[in-house]
Structure 1
């Protein structure tokens, strides 16, 4: 079993977890503001934060000369609370069929180190060995950083996060791979495994656009179409660990077979691979790559434009279906597929407007560029969340 984190957090009560979460995601923040947002008394906030300050996880000292000068004014100093970023370190790993991406972050998910490695063999044994080597390389870079609390791994597909098992990843060709167990044995540190889009959603919830949002969704467009949901104060995992599978809604022609083996999935029309396949088919250009298809579409080629328009229509309909069901106030559109966003945006927004019911049509659609480094950062963010909450395998 993975060993316990080197720095257990002094959080004995749910109030302590709530207070640290507020400081981490919304700091610098005064005690009085934490009390207002949580409903706790100021005395309860002070009691919860005292051991965190003593242990070096939180500080109420000004971090800049300007803050220090502001605290010397008339009246009692506010002394906002801030997480000590270098109090711990985290490693995040993103797995794709062609590459491994690794980052080290601090306690606020700020990226410190980045490593990219090409992947030629996607067999589970080979990938686990490569992940182990990459993680060890990143661990060796932590010489002056805070103690390592865990390693996060983000993989596409159906992931049982509680047990660290990738149940089904069509892109990787994996079924029932116990990633956390296999990697944990090699590294001797806690390993958290999660669906990659859900990891990205956790990062946006704790450290991005979702910090002040009551509800939002992250939709990723690339080789696959993914969706992470933040509703009613929590990133949705679903009873079976599967939720937000926007790419597998049956909204495309039924004759088209998806990588998951089913027919009519959104991905069969709207993924980057599907757009390229359609453009090759209609133009007769089997030599085209995605960049070539994008160039043709920008040049006005009717066949390439048709492929992107068809994708936009299906994506917009899928977004409307999701928004009608769960009602988020914001949808963040991200992923490697946003490079060609301008080619299908108009058709996507029109389809969304056509199918969004009533006030759901007021949901904002926001474009947010992400690199694979951000996906790896999302894996690190899931470790930070588990660490603060005391979730397996980082129980306090």
Structure 2
């Protein structure tokens, strides 16, 4: 059967959306536990689930006698419970991550489980060239989806994750210093080539959505994701939602003015955290202080591990600024957990002590109890985050996947 661009979900009410979201992010889960967590009646849960089961999006697991208490969702000794879970292969999703040098693409199922990964080098950051290569990569990934015995659902949409200021509602990259893009209508241009719904989002926010629905955020009341690499990014999950900001900008930790004012950032402003703490900034400083202009990042890390005082000083300075920025964010927002992720975590041990020290010095009162957790991520995870934004829009019926 040919892939279809969109498969509608049988969700007509907010209750149905809430029930499917619980099953998707917390399943397998019994109906009684969904009712307890949502405040809906069991009859309302059953009514919401029935069309999802009939359409093949959700399934009952085989009933088994269990002993469940009121805390763990259990309903009594020996009474059968049929936990509900989504059918992962009921739909397929494409996730794409854009960097200045590479495109990373994945196919995922309904639970954001990665099925296929493709990496392709970028010849240019010119927007039209990148859009054309994104379209080719998406078509290649769609072509890997099997039919027949290994049946997978139709592609419901394509997610694109890009660094910078992104207007998610209209699919426009307003400003991406790394890509050199301003006001690029990515969703419109890519949609013309692929004839599929396109969700374009800030890359760190996409990673945060993935953690919210399928990672640490499932059980957290609030958390932040801080990415450290060529840039410093931050995504926030507060009050039951990933924060987008009134103007589509939020969590720009890397552009807090906490560094010396004589340092110019890639965004054109002075004194941003990224001017000291990004991997590019660290490498630039070590090259200058060691007088080794051809040194690469791996070599800089090696020097620091060997105890070179100039290399160590650069990482210490980065750790101090990152720790101060984390404290400022935690003091303002108050998350219970900060997940530190990104391609820059390979050198985390080089600045961890100074970062935690600076965080402790500047975190106010009980905000200092916020946990800092290291979580390794690859570029594949960024692409998976783009796919997760499609899944969220699909379940909620948000643009461009409106029902």
Normalised to the residue count of structure 2, the TM-score between the two structures is 0.95
Aligned equivalents of 2:268 and 2:306: distance in 1? 34
Question: What residue is the counterpart of 1:156 in the other structure?
Answer: 163
Question: What residue is the counterpart of 1:120 in the other structure?
Answer: 123
Question: What residue is the counterpart of 1:255 in the other structure?
Answer: 262
Residue 79 (structure 2) aligned to one of 70, 76, 81: 76
The reply on whether 1:202 has 2:209 as its aligned counterpart is: yes
- Aligned-residue offset at 1:77: 1.4
Residue aligned with 1:210, SS: helix
Aligned equivalents of 1:171 and 1:287: distance in 2? 21
Q: Which runs of 4+ in 1 moved over 6 A?
A: none
- Aligned-residue offset at 1:76: 3.2
Question: What residue is the counterpart of 1:166 in the other structure?
Answer: 173
The reply on whether 1:299 has 2:302 as its aligned counterpart is: no
| Aligned residues of 2:226 and 2:339 also touching (Cα < 8 A) | yes
| Aligned residues of 1:150 and 1:190 also touching (Cα < 8 A) | yes
Question: What residue is the counterpart of 2:220 in the other structure?
Answer: 213
| Aligned residues of 1:164 and 1:194 also touching (Cα < 8 A) | yes
Aligned equivalents of 1:228 and 1:271: distance in 2? 17
Residue aligned with 2:218, SS: coil
- Aligned-residue offset at 1:120: 2.1
Q: Which runs of 5+ in 2 are unaligned?
A: 68-75
Residue 90 (structure 1) aligned to one of 77, 88, 93: 93
Residue aligned with 1:264, SS: coil
Question: What residue is the counterpart of 2:70 in the other structure?
Answer: none
Q: Which runs of 5+ in 1 are unaligned?
A: none
Aligned equivalents of 1:342 and 1:210: distance in 2? 25
| Aligned residues of 1:5 and 1:394 also touching (Cα < 8 A) | no
Aligned equivalents of 1:87 and 1:220: distance in 2? 32
Aligned equivalents of 2:205 and 2:270: distance in 1? 24
Aligned pairs for 1:111-150 within 5 A: 111-144=114-147, 145-150=152-157
Question: What residue is the counterpart of 1:335 in the other structure?
Answer: 342
Residue aligned with 1:34, SS: helix
| Residues 279-307 of structure 1: CA deviation (Å, up to 9, x unaligned) | 01111110100000000000000000000
Aligned equivalents of 2:294 and 2:162: distance in 1? 30
| Residues 217-271 of structure 1: CA deviation (Å, up to 9, x unaligned) | 0000000000000000000000000000000000000000000000000000000
Aligned equivalents of 1:203 and 1:78: distance in 2? 29
The reply on whether 1:20 has 2:20 as its aligned counterpart is: yes
- Aligned-residue offset at 1:159: 0.2
Aligned equivalents of 1:103 and 1:152: distance in 2? 10
Normalised to the residue count of structure 1, the TM-score between the two structures is 0.96
The reply on whether 1:228 has 2:231 as its aligned counterpart is: no
Question: What residue is the counterpart of 1:285 in the other structure?
Answer: 292
Q: CA RMSD in A?
A: 1.4
Aligned equivalents of 1:118 and 1:74: distance in 2? 57
Aligned pairs for 1:258-273 within 5 A: 258-273=265-280
| Aligned residues of 2:111 and 2:214 also touching (Cα < 8 A) | yes
The reply on whether 1:245 has 2:248 as its aligned counterpart is: no
| Residues 281-337 of structure 1: CA deviation (Å, up to 9, x unaligned) | 111110100000000000000000000000000000000000000000000000000
Query: How many matched pairs?
Result: 389
Residue aligned with 1:227, SS: strand
| Aligned residues of 2:5 and 2:196 also touching (Cα < 8 A) | yes
Residue aligned with 1:53, SS: helix
| Residues 152-188 of structure 1: CA deviation (Å, up to 9, x unaligned) | 0000000000000000000000000000000001000
